[in-house]
Amino acid sequence: MNPDIAACAGIVQKGDPDRFLAIMSGPLHLREKLFPLYAMNVEVARAPWVTQESMIAEMRLQWWRDALEEIAKGGEVRRHEVVTPLSEVLNSKQAEALYVLVEARRWDIYKDPFEDVAAFQTHLDDTAGVLLAVAAELAGASETQHIQTVGRVDGLARWFQAIPALEAQGRIPLVDGRASAVAELAKEALADFKMARVEIGRVDRDVAAVLRLTWQSSSLLKQAMKNPNVVQEGNLYNGEFRNKFSLLWKSLNANW
């Protein structure tokens, strides 16, 4: 593993440890593609939170937007421990697809609530959904519509886990934060997940390794549906042993 890929792996391990474990469960040649992508996601996601100055946060996100534009244009790309290896794995279409991910992260800069549930779902689709779709393309998937749905569902599970921290920062993470509304969101997401799995069908080992990045989402959403209060209380999680055993079992069976 070259130094840039190793640096990307370190960023993911520190900033997104669950996805780090899932990426490590895949083959080496795929890790070298996924670590730069998910390191970029970590850096973009944290950009709005490292400063209280909205203008500086906007500039940080614009830096990533400009870097992706350089990759998309296929010309000279700035030297950077994440951008450089990212430019070696993304094609122009994939780089352009990630524009919306950067744009969606502007929500984190301010404290305005989502206009409605549709706007909230679009935010999940533009972040976790787009990210998983691009990752699947890097693994060789040609059709990613339903994979993006899986990503959006996984994004909701992760969002539920982040709600206490978001509220502590003065954000309004849900359009309707009542327990009944949380349970309904989880129920609808599980239905979408089930439908997407059927539509995706059988996939090869590399695409399965990418889809394994969402290995916790179904279990977490089932918890939220049955007992939505765990979301508000910050108690939505799987045990460490269960997490690792489940991931190991799925990786040994090339499943997700």
DSSP 9-69: HHHHHHH-HHHHHHHHTS-HHHHHHHHHHHHHHHHHHHGGGS-S-HHHHHHHHHHHHHHHH
Domain count, the chain: 2
Confidence (pTM): 0.95
Check pLDDT > 80 for residue 1.
no
| Structural domain of 57 | 1-106
The predicted structure's pLDDT at residue 140: 97
Domain boundary among 106, 137, 164: 106
For residues 8 and 60, membership in a common domain is answered with yes
Instruction: Choose the final residue of a domain: 106, 122, 152.
Output: 106
Q: Distance (Å, rounded) from C-alpha 19 to C-alpha 145?
A: 21
Average pLDDT on 188-210 reads: 97
Claim to verify: residue 124 and residue 187 sit in the same structural domain? yes
The pLDDT value recorded for residue 241 is 84
Residues 45, 167 share a domain: no
- Band (pLDDT 50/70/90 cuts) for residue 77 is very high
Q: Indicate if 97 and 199 belong to the same structural domain.
A: no
**Average pLDDT over all residues of the chain:** 96
Terminal C-alpha separation, the chain: 25
Q: What is the model's pLDDT at position 90? A: 98
Question: CA-CA-CA-CA torsion for 104, 110, 112, 115, nearest 10 degrees?
Answer: -10
Residues 121 and 241 in one domain: yes
Q: Quick one: 117 and 145 in the same domain? A: yes
The DSSP call for residue 113 is P
- Are residues 167 and 228 part of one domain? yes
Percent of the chain with pLDDT over 90: 94
Q: How confident is the model at residue 84 (pLDDT cuts 50, 70, 90)?
A: very high
Residue 88 CA from chain centroid, whole number? 21
Last residue of a domain, one of 106, 123, 145: 106
Do 143 and 83 lie in a common domain? no
Confidence of residue 240 (pLDDT cuts 50, 70, 90): confident
Is the confidence at residue 252, as pLDDT, over 80? yes
